[in-house]
């Protein structure tokens, strides 16, 4: 199968591309203009971006399927209309190009943030309605883009939406926001944690589900790709165990975390870096469902998430081998 992919150099893409090549597929990857990737057998590169309609037309022409991974992720407290426009307009452009090219299957990678997760202590599945995020945020772009994709199902094009939870795992070259958190905890750069947690899913299991969705799944359907909910304290404990330490990081109350938020932002500006946390990132950890059901993806896509302990072990091992940790 000839597969066109956006966002192939991101975290999920780095796990997905080798899987697809090992299965005998040929790939057409959209990359930025300044990128000069190493040649790979079975891979054809196309320079462009999501708002360059001509480059998208070249990308999808002759493809049997399109996998849309690319998106600008932001956990900043202020809305980002520019990123929102790229994410939504880019999805619209790609859908139009895909349909005009007569591509049979379009797979959109959404996010758990596109779904209403309330009540947080009750089971949730694909029937939960969309979330109601602040305007022009990353979450808002995912809600709209997911619906755009589903609206195009039919008339010769099969659309599937896959929505992972908090993706973590090896092959995290950039690294991702989750990967940065693991690195900082491992290096001792995080003095304390706070209440809250999130459902974590291994990037390799997400990639396997995407690969399966090329031939499996019901057109017009959405699939939640969840793993296991874990608190920040539990995540920190597992990282410490991988480091050979039994002592866990202390947990501070939320009022203290919010009190120090202005100082965290000030320090980020002073050092020209990203803040270690924002109000939005805190709220994502506080307001997250602890019983996300992935049984539909298991039944139709063969999705089988591995234990979080295995993911943390392999992630840290990969960071060491890649030179991020010593």
Neighbouring residues of 312: CB distance < 8 A, sequence distance ≥ 6? 168, 182, 235, 238, 239, 242
Residue whose pair of structure tokens reads 């300044």 in the numeric block: 34
pLDDT of residue 119: 93
User: Is residue 122 classed exposed, middle or buried when 0-12, 13-18 and 19+ CB atoms within 10 A define those classes?
Assistant: exposed
Question: 257 near 277, Cβ under 8 Å?
Answer: yes
pLDDT digits (tens, 9 = 90+) for 273-287: 666 678 777 888 888
Share of the chain above pLDDT 90, in %: 73
pLDDT of residue 253: 83
Q: Among 45-49, 178-182, 212-216, 255-259, which range has the highest average pLDDT?
A: 212-216
pLDDT of residue 81: 92
Count helices and strands (H / E) in the chain.
12, 10
Q: Is cis: bond before 103, omega within 30 of 0?
A: no
pLDDT digits (tens, 9 = 90+) for 228-248: 999 999 999 999 998 888 777
pLDDT of residue 190: 85
pLDDT digits (tens, 9 = 90+) for 131-144: 999 899 999 999 99
The pLDDT mean for the chain works out to 92
Q: Does the structure show a pLDDT above 80 at 215?
A: yes
Look at 42-56, 175-189, 267-281, 297-311 and tell me which has the smallest mean pLDDT. Answer: 267-281
Q: Does the structure show a pLDDT above 70 at 180?
A: yes
pLDDT of residue 33: 67
Q: Does the structure show a pLDDT above 80 at 268?
A: no
| Nearest C-alpha neighbor of 313 from the set 227, 239, 246 | 239
User: Is residue 2 classed exposed, middle or buried when 0-12, 13-18 and 19+ CB atoms within 10 A define those classes?
Assistant: middle
Q: Is cis: bond before 72, omega within 30 of 0?
A: no
What is the domain partition of the chain in residue ranges?
A: 2-168+200-227+292-306
Mean pLDDT along residues 94-116: 97
113 SS3 class: helix
pLDDT digits (tens, 9 = 90+) for 5-44: 999 999 999 999 999 999 999 999 999 866 677 788 999 9
Q: Does the structure show a pLDDT above 80 at 266?
A: no
CA distance 32 to 164: 25
pLDDT of residue 49: 94
CA distance 242 to 193: 18
Q: Does the structure show a pLDDT above 70 at 187?
A: yes
For residue 276, report the phi and psi dihedrals to the nearest 5 degrees: -70, -20
CATH architecture of 2-168+200-227+292-306: 3-Layer(aba) Sandwich (3.40)
Compute CA 221 distance to the chain's CA centroid, rounded to the nearest angstrom. 19
**Concatenated DSSP letters of 176-226:** -HHHHHHHHHHTT----B-S-EEEEEEHHHHHHHHHHHTT-S-TT-EEEE-
pLDDT of residue 3: 98
pLDDT of residue 177: 84
The two tokens of residue 123 are 């089971």
pLDDT of residue 74: 80
Q: Does the structure show a pLDDT above 80 at 263?
A: no
326 compared with 227, residue with greater pLDDT? 227
CA distance 144 to 222: 14
CA distance 306 to 275: 31
Mean pLDDT along residues 202-215: 98
Question: 66 near 106, Cβ under 8 Å?
Answer: yes
Look at 70-79, 91-100, 104-113 and tell me which has the smallest mean pLDDT. Answer: 70-79
Mean pLDDT along residues 250-271: 76
Neighbouring residues of 125: CB distance < 8 A, sequence distance ≥ 6? 224, 292, 293, 295, 296
CA distance 104 to 159: 9
- CA-CA distances (angstroms) from residue 186 to 236, 239, 284? 8, 6, 22
pLDDT of residue 277: 74
| Nearest C-alpha neighbor of 190 from the set 176, 202, 198, 180 | 180
- pLDDT bucket at 201, cuts 50 / 70 / 90: very high
pLDDT of residue 262: 75
């Amino acid at each position: 199968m000839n597969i066109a992919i956006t966002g192939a150099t991101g975290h999920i893409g780095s796990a997905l591309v080798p899987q697809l090549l090992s299965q005998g597929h040929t790939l057409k990857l959209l990359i930025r203009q300044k990128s000069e990737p190493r040649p790979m057998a079975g891979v054809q590169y196309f320079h462009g971006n999501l708002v360059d309609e001509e480059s998208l037309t070249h990308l999808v022409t002759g493809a049997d399927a399109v996998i849309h991974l690319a998106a600008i992720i932001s956990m900043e407290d202020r809305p980002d209309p520019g990123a929102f426009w790229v994410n939504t307009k880019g999805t619209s452009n790609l859908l139009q190009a895909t349909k005009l090219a007569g591509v049979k299957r379009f797979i959109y990678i959404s996010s758990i943030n596109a779904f209403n997760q309330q009540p947080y202590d009750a089971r949730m599945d694909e029937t939960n309605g969309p979330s109601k995020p602040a305007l022009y945020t990353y979450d808002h772009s995912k809600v709209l883009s997911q619906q755009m994709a589903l609206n195009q199902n039919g008339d010769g094009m099969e659309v599937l939406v896959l929505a992972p939870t908090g993706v973590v795992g090896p092959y995290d070259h950039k690294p991702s926001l989750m990967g940065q958190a693991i690195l900082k905890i491992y290096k001792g750069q995080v003095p304390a944690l706070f209440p809250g947690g999130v459902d974590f899913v291994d990037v390799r299991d997400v990639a396997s589900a995407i690969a399966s969705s090329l031939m499996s799944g019901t057109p017009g359907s959405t699939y939640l790709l969840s793993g296991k909910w874990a608190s920040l304290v539990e995540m920190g404990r597992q990282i410490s165990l991988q480091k050979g330490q039994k002592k866990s990081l202390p947990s501070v109350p939320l009022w203290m975390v919010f009190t120090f938020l202005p100082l965290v932002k000030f320090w980020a500006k002073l050092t020209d870096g990203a803040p270690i946390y924002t109000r939005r990132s805190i709220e994502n950890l506080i307001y997250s469902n602890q019983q996300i059901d992935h049984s539909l993806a298991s039944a139709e896509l063969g999705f089988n998430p591995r234990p979080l302990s295995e993911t943390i072990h392999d992630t840290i091992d990969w960071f060491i081998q890649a030179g991020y940790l010593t």
